[in-house]
Amino acid sequence: MNHKNFSLARYLAIQAFYQLKQSQLSFDEVLGQFNEWHIKNISFDFNNSYDHLTFDVNKKYFNDILIKYKNDKIMINSLIDENLIDTWKSDRLPKVLYSIIRVAVTEMVLNRKLSFAIIASEYIILTETFFSKKESSFVNALLENIYKKFSK
Chain segment 75-111, per-residue pLDDT in tens: 999 999 999 977 677 878 899 999 999 999 999 999 9
The DSSP letter of residue 55 is -
- Return the amino acid letter for 137: S
104: enclosing H helix or E strand: helix 95-110
Cα–Cα distance, 85 to 7 (Å, whole number): 28
What Rg do the C-alpha atoms of the chain give, in angstroms?
15
Determine the distance from the C-alpha atom of residue 35 to the mean position of all C-alpha atoms in its chain, rounded to a whole number. 16
Domains in the chain (CATH in brackets) are: 3-150 (1.10.940.10)
Cα–Cα distance, 58 to 124 (Å, whole number): 20
Low-confidence winner among 57-61, 137-141, 143-147 (lowest mean pLDDT): 57-61
Q: Kindly report the pTM of this predicted structure.
A: 0.86
Provide the percentage of residues in the chain whose pLDDT is more than 70.
Answer: 84
